[in-house]
Amino acid sequence: MITWPMILIPFCVSVCLTPIVKKASVWSKAYAKENERTVHHGIISRIGGISIYIAFMVSSALFLNPDRAINGIILGGSIMFFTGLIDDLIDIKPLVKLFFEVVAASVLIYFGVGVDAIHLPFGIVIDNFYVSIIFTIIWVAGITNAINLIDGLDGLAGGMSVIMLVVIGSVALIERRFDVAMITFIMASSTMGFLLYNAHPASIFMGDCGSLFLGFMISAISLLGFKGSTIVTLALPMLLLMIPIIDTLSAILRRTLKGMKFMQADKSHIHHLLMKQFGHGKTVIIMCGLTFIFGLSAYAYLINTRIGFTVMLITLFGVELFIEKSAMISEHFHPIMGLYRRVVKKIKRT
């Protein structure tokens, strides 16, 4: 069962550790670098994910009674944390990070956390061992990188992650999956403590050690629900992660059309474009608000399929219009607006 100490202890550990991590950054010179993509100024620590990781590990030791699957998630998460920490300290190539993401996903599969079968609409089921392995690896790497990509503004990745985790944990409680709920709320509370220092204007960043760890844990916890339960089906995590998923797919299309490398960084992500119009603080609120709405639609879907689906479609439509109007993918990419113009012209002619 979820108890108050299970929520308060990881929060307090994270709150107390973060100032220590900030001081350790002075010794290790682990500062966020300023470049054409960054929006911060000055010397700011980029290894804040350490406090999230330690708070989670300490609290897990106190409250969890881990089975094989939970042990696999913790081990895989540790691999991603240390991969990110090394990257924060000495910078490693994107392909090296991708390699360790595959390793961490393989650990999940070995410990029995993965997709047994892929359930598609209209009763279509893909039950193939090798397809399941490939899908699990793609899912883990995709979600991990999606969270990493949105870590561009103060409190954005942490805030969105907390919302995702709270929704997943709440649904887990409804479905009486207390194993999923406990690890989820411990993770959310550990992140929330760090957010006190990471909210705009941030005095510390979570860095890759934080964003890769968070992304992996969200993807792994989602996969944990595939085992004989409806608690975290493919639809729920996809709805919660809709913004980073859309952002990642848009980045792939944008860079491909421009002839850029797949992992080459740019400054055309959703949060960058929103910030030009609304500023830093409001952009984070908007992004977290959209994540909450998608989470709410997932929650509503469990209660009333029609209402949940309607809310989801309306929100997706709004995001699509923003992508087209902001030329996030390309100045020539505007399928809905283009269709609207053609229909209006046809009506005027008649």
pLDDT of the residue at 231:
43
From first to last of its 350 residues, the chain has per-residue pLDDT tens of: 788 999 999 999 999 999 999 988 878 777 766 555 455 456 789 899 999 999 999 999 999 998 999 999 999 999 999 999 999 998 899 999 999 999 999 999 999 887 666 655 555 667 778 888 898 899 899 889 989 988 878 999 999 999 999 988 888 888 888 988 999 999 999 999 999 999 988 999 999 999 999 999 999 998 886 554 444 455 666 777 778 788 878 878 887 777 776 566 666 778 778 888 888 888 899 889 888 888 888 777 777 778 877 887 888 888 888 888 877 777 777 788 888 888 888 887 77
CA 203-208-210 angle, 5° bins = 70
pLDDT of the residue at 230:
43
Model pTM score: 0.86
The DSSP line for 273-338 is HHHHHH-HHHHHHHHHHHHHHHHHHHHHHHH-HHHHHHHHHHHHHHHHHHHHHTTSS-TT--HHHH
Domain residue ranges of the chain, discontinuous segments joined by +: 9-263+272-349
By C-alpha distance, which of 236, 162, 250 is closest to 206?
162
**Distance (Å, whole) CA 286 – CA 293:** 10
Which residues does residue 126 pair with via DSSP β-bridges, in sequence order?
118
Could you report the per-residue pLDDT of 177-204, keeping only the tens digit for each?
898 899 999 999 999 999 999 998 899 9
Report which DSSP code applies to 122.
G
Could you report the per-residue pLDDT of 65-109, keeping only the tens digit for each?
989 999 999 999 999 999 999 999 988 999 999 999 999 999 999
Residue 331, burial from CB neighbour count under 10 angstroms (0-12, 13-18, 19+):
exposed
